[in-house]
Structure 1
Amino acid sequence: MLKLTYKCTIALLLLLSSLTMAQMPMPPKVPIWDANKVELRLQKLSEDVYAIIPSTVGVETTTGIPQATTGGFIVGEKGILMVEVMLNKRLFDQQMKLIRSISDKPILYAVNTSDHGDHCFSNYLLPDATLIIQNEFAMENLSKNYEGIKQFMISLFGKDRGIENSVYRPADIVIPKNSNLKVELGGGKVVELMNIGTAQSPADLFVWMPQQKIFWAGNPFIAESPAIPWLFDGYFLEPAANLRKMYDLLPEGTVVVPGHGKITNKAGIKYTIDYVEALKEQVQKAVSENLTLEQTKARVKMPEFNKGYVLFDWLHFNFNVPNAFKDISSTQNK
């Protein structure tokens, strides 16, 4: 029964995707960030472990300006594991140049932490021998709805950013929900890939190096304050639980690479947890008082978390509050 429900959910999302994209409220500025202008750089995290980050994250993360995708790579005795492949060829080429400035070993694996195009659209540019790793939902959604996802990404990140050139390439290794995969690269480099379910979208995949205490957080933990989570994939209660689960799993001293921000630590992603838990509490109260969605949005403005993030109003009122209201109403009405 669980398997059937999961497949039905995928089918429903695919059926509604074009309608959802057509009706989706647009952010205050498109492109959200410009893939034709982003410059990537290296940041060493540990021996043979690197983050690849936009050059602007050090200043612009804390001033509330949305940042391009972060990634990284791990060099082991056997070869390299990449985290993310970026939105377009321009950024992929920068990524490859940075990797090759460190090592000429083969790229054995490329991990997509999401089915959003800025994490996976350059898969087609990888060497043929590289094995692409995704979670099960990401594989299903990309295989059936690639062109729709491209149009969605163009709507947010603009035309003529190389998105149109992306060609679908299927995953080679797929991780089911509530499953982990351990990849041993040699030389003490062990990488755990975790599909714990929806933390931002059903396509989430976390990358964890327990020995080095390095964590690629992907879209669920998008950045430090003042950024708030992008809960626009239609879910709230499962992400709220899984965000807390991942946060609690991380030991003190963990180096965190957010999905779109500067390198931080466990304390740096606590803002996401605080926002989600406060949102849950306030929407639960509104639902218990039988408020409508519009009344709930008028009440749950949460100014204490509106600290200058450019996308706060777009995300909070169009997605985060409505999805919390939908999930909580559904649960309380059972």
Structure 2
Amino acid sequence: MNYIIIVIALIVFFIENTFAENFKYNLKYVELADGIFVIEGDNTRLNSINGGAISNTSFIIGSKGILVIDAGPSALYAEQVISIIRSISSIPIKYLVITHHHPDHSFGVSSYQELGVEIIMSSSEIHRYEKYGKRLLRQMKNLIGEEWFLNTKIVDIENNKVFPLKINLGNHQIGIREYKNGHSEGDLVVVDIDEEVVFSGDLIFNKRAPTIPHANIDNWSKYIDILHNNKWKILVPGHGPIIRDKEELYMTKNWINYISKIAKEAVEKGLSPAEVFDKGISDQYKSYHLAQEVWNRDLPLLMKKYEYQ
């Protein structure tokens, strides 16, 4: 009997390690400022090649602890990020900020929980993660491939954070603020006060069309103005390359206001999505990565939303 148990355990170990070898994320990090690192995601759609790693993950190494921003799409991804951090520093990982519940930002959370890391997430987004997480995980497995999500699980997250929140990492003072009902119901923005680096989550996309499945366009647009007017040297968007020119923030604002305007006008005129699609996207926005794909998906969603307002 013991022999059979040992054999089964070895088989499971072999399978898990084979999956881990065959499904590795090609993660590379850059240091933006002293102790501040970013792993840039594949700035495109979810697919079986990138394993869902389409958003940016960052970490700040302070003298008293390490803070990670966004857990990524899976346990496998999170474990590889943790390995990268451990290759740089032995200082404890104390905090994980999840900017919002969307799977590409949150589904690696269990790997940090197992290390005893404190999870920071808005209460509204914890609710959405716990309510819809299992369904979204099934969808991710079907879309990308189940192998990428080995050991990925939806977990309970302690809901006790009040914002704004300040964290002392020693030589890095961190501020965290919640922006309600913007891109999501509770977007968290992280600021390294000492280095003047902002981590915007998906309030900002760079070089690609922003997605709006749970968005309040009016609030989101106002939040972009706030970020634009704040003092910072570097901004790490939720998706896309690092931003140093504040005017690049308006790529996101212009797109969301444009698609919202077109959707409202279509509803007022009684047009169908097909009739709007026939007119095409304005030339100003065709250069946005995934513009046509996002347009085709999000415009009908907005039109349906505005029909009942």
Q: TM-score range by the shorter chain?
A: 0.7 to 0.9
Tell me which amino acid in the other structure corresponds to 1:158: G
| Structure-2 separation of matches of 1:212 and 1:165 | 36
Q: Are 1:67 and 1:261, in contact at CA under 8 Å, matched by a contact in 2?
A: no
- Judging changes above 3 Å, is the alpha-carbon distance between structure 1 residues 125 and 97 closer, same or farther for their aligned structure 2 residues? same
2:210 paired residue among 229, 238, 242: 229
Task: For residue 81 of structure 2, give the secondary structure of its aligned residue in structure 1.
Answer: helix
The one-letter code of the counterpart of 1:138 is E
2:255: which partner in 1?
Answer: 275
TM-score w.r.t. the length of structure 2 is 0.78
Q: CA deviation at 1:96?
A: 1.5
Residue in 2 that maps onto 1:10: none
Q: Which one of the candidate residues 139, 154, 162 is aligned to 1:168?
A: 154
Secondary structure of the residue aligned to 2:146 is: coil
Q: 2:219 aligns with which of 232, 235, 241?
A: 241
Correspondences of 1:142-181 after superposition (within 5 Å): 142-161=129-148, 163-175=149-161, 179-181=163-165
Given candidates 17, 30, 33, the residue that maps to 1:46 is: 33
Q: Are the equivalent residues in 1 in contact too, given 2:175–2:192 (CA < 8 A)?
A: yes
What SS does structure 1 have at the residue aligned with 2:195? coil
Shift of 1:203: 4.7
Equivalence for 1:323: 301
* Aligned partners of 1:77 and 1:186 also within 8 Å: yes
Deviation at 1:111, TM superposition (A): 1.1
How far has the Cα of 1:83 moved from its partner?
0.8
Q: 1:267 to 1:123 in 2, by over 3 A?
A: same
Q: Distance in 2 between matches of 1:308 and 1:216?
A: 21
Shift, 1:217, TM fit:
2.1
TM-score, reference length from structure 1: 0.73
Residue of structure 1 aligned with 2:128, choices 115, 121, 141: 141
Tell me what 2:183 maps to.
200
5+ long unaligned stretches in structure 2: 1-21
Greater CA drift, 109-118 or 166-175: 166-175
Give the 3 Å change call, closer, same or farther, for CA 207–77 of structure 1 in structure 2.
same
* Structure 1 position 191 matched with structure 2 position 191: no
How much does 1:108 deviate?
1.0
Structure-1 separation of matches of 2:33 and 2:142: 37
Could you tell me how far apart the structure 2 residues matched to 1:156 and 1:255 are?
Answer: 34
| Stretches of structure 1 lacking an aligned partner (at least 5 in a row) | 1-34
Contact 2:73 2:108 in 1 (8 A): yes
Letter in 2 for 1:259: G
User: Considering only aligned residues, what root-mean-square deviation do their CA atoms show, in Å?
Assistant: 2.9
Deviation at 1:133, TM superposition (A): 1.1
| Partner in structure 2 of residue 304 of structure 1 | 284
**CA deviation profile, 1:133-159 (whole Å, cap 9, x unmatched):** 111122112223332121122243333
Number of residue pairs aligned between Structure 1 and Structure 2: 280
Contact 1:44-1:50 within 8 A present in 2 as well: yes
Query: Kindly tell me: are residues 118 and 297 of structure 1, through their superposed partners in 2, closer, same or farther at Cα, counting changes over 3 Å?
Result: same
Is the CA contact 1:287–1:328 (under 8 Å) kept in the aligned structure 2? yes
After TM superposition, give the deviation of residue 173 of structure 1 in Å: 4.9
Deviations 1:202-228 (A, max 9, x none): 253222224422122223323x22x10
- Return closer, same or farther for 1:300/1:41 CA change in 2, 3 Å cut-off: same
Q: Which runs of structure 2 are paired with 1:109-120 in the superposition (5 Å)?
A: 109-120=95-106
Could you tell me how far apart the structure 1 residues matched to 2:264 and 2:227 are?
A: 26
Structure with greater contact order relative to length (CA < 8 Å, sep ≥ 6): 1
What secondary structure does 1:69 align onto?
coil
Amino acid at match of 1:255: I
Supply the distance in 2 between the matched residues of 1:72 and 1:241 (Cα, whole angstroms).
Answer: 25
Tell whether the 8 Å contact from 1:116 to 1:153 is kept in structure 2 after alignment: no
Give, in whole Å, the separation in 1 of the partners of 2:88 and 2:67.
13
In the TM superposition, residue 47 of structure 1 has moved relative to its aligned partner by: 1.5
Give the number of the structure whose alpha-carbon radius of gyration is greater: 2
How much identity, in percent, do the aligned residues show?
21
Write the letter of the residue equivalent to 1:121.
F
Mapping of residues 95-110 of structure 1, within 5 Å: 95-110=81-96
